[in-house]
Structure 1
Amino acid sequence: MSNDVETKLAAARTRLILDKPFLGALVLRLPMEQASAEWCKTTATDAKTFYFNHDYIDALSLDQTQFVLAHEALHCALSHFARRQHRLKHRWDLACDLAVNPLLVNDGLKPCPDTLYDPQYENMTAEEIYPSIDDLDDRETHDQHIYDEDEQQQDDSGQQDQKGQGGAGGDKKDQDPQQDSSSGGGDKPRDEQSNSQGNANQAELDENLGGAPQPPPLNESEKEALSVQWQQRLAGAAQQAMQSGKMGEAMMRLVDHLLQPQLPWRMLLARYMTAVARDDYSFQRPSRREGAAILPSLRSAQLDLTVVVDTSGSISDTEISEFVSEIDAIKGQMQARITLLACDDKLSDNAPWTCEAWESFEVPDDMQGGGATDFRPAFEFAHQQSKQPDLLIYFTDAEGEFPEQEAGFPVIWLVKGRGKVPWGQRIQLN
């Protein structure tokens, strides 16, 4: 590492520690190492180390160097390396950068060249951004996320494993027994020897070019351990920054969200529905004919649920079906009678649909929608009934006209996206 680049990185890290103690504390947890230009064109991280291309850092200003340091540290602190799950790597990488960069820009850092930034994704997580990215989006992140395998690597790895095992069921018809015996029994297969030799040659080439070789992707146990480690680091960095009075509001909201327990929306929905159920034990004094002893008895009453589906077009048919199926599974456990409404800017002409506790709850074939979004008609309908619901559940993106007055009964908003609600209990869908 040349003195100029080394000095720039050290100065950028020191300035972050002084001016942005939260980010600075996270950056301190990432050792810096110059990488070979053969694989690292800008910067990269494997959730353990900050890798950089010498010439790239040399061309950045000091402010931009702060940005790239903080960018990689936030990828690690947010456990992006452990949250991908089933998602496609390229789309996930784009979503992670579109989630991180607005945080840094709003915190006053100057972005580096080719930074992915879109203000519409402010205060959104990578999971929330991912569905909005097209499969054919050819944009690229300015850095490299080398903690994960891409789909091609996974396919190649699976094929190599299958070859090494002789195919399904251990069938080795394609192998030559004489070739196996002549190999001495202890030698590596030819493919594995060539791969090992290739990796060794690449590492030697990287060292000759003056940089570290590319590290392998993390395995599942490493991801799990690092995720816990980075969460602890995140909490410690936030505490230090708050004590110094230099913790921005956006960063504070982010930390609060990440450190609180995250429960699936289905579990939260079941919890709130159970809370309003009217199954309980009664210690009411019995009649004299039943004797003098007062024993608890289970009394039960039917729960009346009103379920409203936003049909304005922002909620897909598949999502509506999944939502209705979940309600059906929960209602069977608590003797719930359901009144279903479909509403965009007005109630569907065929609404309401009713479903008794013993009946299967399904999406009606004649559900209508496609207009704008107005939540008032559904609540007006509920207030006009002779008996108000014990609970109203509204499945929506929360982008529409709300009633001015709060409903006089419990309301759960099951929200897809980042829309806010003025009252009631909000549960994040995605």
Structure 2
Amino acid sequence: MDRNTIVLGAMSGSCAVHPRIARQRTELVLSQPFFGALALRLTVREDPTAKTFWVDGETMGYNPDFLDSLSDLEVRGIVAHEVLHVANGHCWRQGARDPDRWNDACDYAINPIVLSAGMVLPKGVLIDPRYTGKSAEEIYGLLTQEAKQKQQQQPQPPQSQPKSQPQPDPQGQQQPSPPNQPSQSNGKQGGPQAPQPGQQTRPDQQPSNPGSFGEVRPYKGQDQPVKEAEWKVAVTQAAKAAAMRGKLPGDLQAMASEAVRPLVYWRAVLHRFAQQSSPSDYSFAMPNRRYLHLGFYLPALHTPAIGDAVFVRDSSGSVFDETQAQFDAEILLVFHSLKPARLIVMDCDTRVTQVQVFERGDSPEIKPVRGGGGTAFVEPFNRVVQDGMNPAFLVYLTDMDGRFPAVAPHYPVLWASTTPLARARKAPFGETVEVIC
């Protein structure tokens, strides 16, 4: 197939495709077949209301004025950039997250891949070595944590003082207003004014992010599961086709494998794990009363009371506040559904920093996590023995970066890893689930 045939194929079926975008899609098909094959799946639409580019899993929109400001190589890089947003599932996974922060997190995740493929992106692109190799969810958590820390470090504004009124001088004339105070006559002073509460900010005064040249929009169609599955198949096929041509770099291959990995919902795994630790069986000790009047002595389903439900929260600071809050909510759900003898919540960095114990029938209110040192997983297991706990199970929320106990306990253990399992340290015992919040 020659170049002219590919150009005609890239432009057919969508007359509205801008010639420059069509040309760069063709170049991707020829030089970067992984990106090119996937780029042809997106409908291209001119959108003057957009700031730059956007993608929603089905359509790629662009602002024609912004397109005119780009070089051909930058157009090609942005098309590849938008393709990776969909290939990575960013359009399906935003959920209730802040759209702007989610967009930045997604950009940080894919921009290094685009650049390592030898493509060009506009100046000011969002790149940070700290985020290289991390998923968009991990980066979003880091950005959220950093934003909270900056907010806490900001000095508190001084308490508002009552406005000073002009005082008459001994001759009965008013004194001028103090320096840097607004005049009582017009309420203005020199220099630009900060917007007052309730005052609208003009569009040209809106803060902008010069490093973002595209917008990830969630897919709005009712067939999202079907569309997501179709893209996973397309990513797999594009990766195989590119690999056969010898044009699939290692980082792209790793990304494609990660993008099509089945998503395991950690909440379901947590509740299944807890339920399995609460065995139910038929017993003659409590006969089935429904058949006694017929003279049949049949066993009834009996669920014995389970022991202690023990949860450990990594308090070293490596697990973000948002994840801790969602984990606490699941702890309470397990407590109310299983009704264990006791609910025990421990915090641990290198040592146990807090222990909360709730009896059956309590209405627990879990306190915020306490700690902030390094990470080691040994002490909570020692504390179980020292305090005479009787765990039906133990669940440990952590990033898996710490020292594990040398000996496996006699009770089941679930490691809730905030690090993707492909990069997390392997626990020497127990079951591991990836926590994605």
Fold similarity call, TM over 0.5? yes
Residue 325 of structure 1 deviates from its aligned partner by 4.3
Q: Deviations over 1:223-250 (max 9, x none)?
A: 4446743541342231342266355432
1:340 equivalent in alignment to 2:345: yes
CA contact (8 A) 1:30 1:50 kept: no
Pairs within 5 Å for 1:245-260: 245=243, 248-257=252-261, 260=262
Structure-2 change in CA distance of 1:232 and 1:429 (3 Å): closer
Please give the alpha-carbon distance, in whole angstroms, between the structure 2 residues aligned to 1:297 and 1:60: 70
Structure-2 change in CA distance of 1:335 and 1:91 (3 Å): closer
Paired residue for 1:242?
240
Paired residue for 1:188?
none
Please give the alpha-carbon distance, in whole angstroms, between the structure 2 residues aligned to 1:82 and 1:318: 20
Please give the alpha-carbon distance, in whole angstroms, between the structure 2 residues aligned to 1:146 and 1:298: 51
Q: Deviations over 1:268-293 (max 9, x none)?
A: 3212111221222247999xxx9985
Pairs within 5 Å for 1:276-291: 276-282=277-283
Report SS of the residue matched to 2:69: helix
Report SS of the residue matched to 1:333: helix
CA contact (8 A) 2:108 2:127 kept: yes
Structure-2 change in CA distance of 1:416 and 1:237 (3 Å): closer
Paired residue for 1:116?
126
Among candidates 373, 379, 383, match of residue 381 of structure 1: 383
Residue 60 of structure 1 deviates from its aligned partner by 3.9
Paired residue for 2:315?
311
Question: TM-score, normalised on structure 1?
Answer: 0.64
Structure-2 change in CA distance of 1:395 and 1:17 (3 Å): same
CA contact (8 A) 1:338 1:355 kept: yes
CA contact (8 A) 2:102 2:140 kept: yes
Structure-2 change in CA distance of 1:243 and 1:370 (3 Å): same
Residue 27 of structure 1 deviates from its aligned partner by 0.6
The gaps in structure 2 that reach 5 residues or longer are: 1-16, 151-206
1:17 equivalent in alignment to 2:29: yes
Paired residue for 2:181?
none
Structure-2 change in CA distance of 1:83 and 1:26 (3 Å): same
Please give the alpha-carbon distance, in whole angstroms, between the structure 1 residues aligned to 2:55 and 2:298: 68
Residue 412 of structure 1 deviates from its aligned partner by 1.8
Paired residue for 1:268?
269
Q: Which amino acid aligns with 1:379?
A: F
Residue 127 of structure 1 deviates from its aligned partner by 3.6
Paired residue for 2:59?
48
Report SS of the residue matched to 1:269: helix
Residue 392 of structure 1 deviates from its aligned partner by 0.9
Report SS of the residue matched to 2:237: helix
Structure-2 change in CA distance of 1:112 and 1:341 (3 Å): same
Query: How many residues were matched structurally?
Result: 340
Structure-2 change in CA distance of 1:285 and 1:380 (3 Å): closer
Q: Deviations over 1:312-333 (max 9, x none)?
A: 3445677656534432331232
Q: Which amino acid aligns with 2:432?
A: Q
Please give the alpha-carbon distance, in whole angstroms, between the structure 1 residues aligned to 2:326 and 2:297: 48
Pairs within 5 Å for 1:2-401: 12-18=24-30, 20-32=32-44, 43-45=53-55, 47-49=58-60, 51=62, 53-57=66-70, 59-61=71-73, 64-81=74-91, 83-107=93-117, 109-133=119-143, 134=147, 139-145=209-215, 147=217, 222-225=220-223, 228-229=226-227, 231-242=229-240, 245=243, 248-257=252-261, 260-263=262-265, 265-282=266-283, 295-315=299-319, 320=324, 323-336=327-340, 337-348=342-353, 352-363=355-366, 368-382=370-384, 389-401=391-403
Report SS of the residue matched to 1:305: strand
Residue 71 of structure 1 deviates from its aligned partner by 0.8
Please give the alpha-carbon distance, in whole angstroms, between the structure 2 residues aligned to 1:282 and 1:108: 68
RMSD value, Cα:
4.0
CA contact (8 A) 1:396 1:414 kept: yes
Structure-2 change in CA distance of 1:240 and 1:344 (3 Å): closer
Question: TM-score, normalised on structure 2?
Answer: 0.63
Q: Percent identity?
A: 28
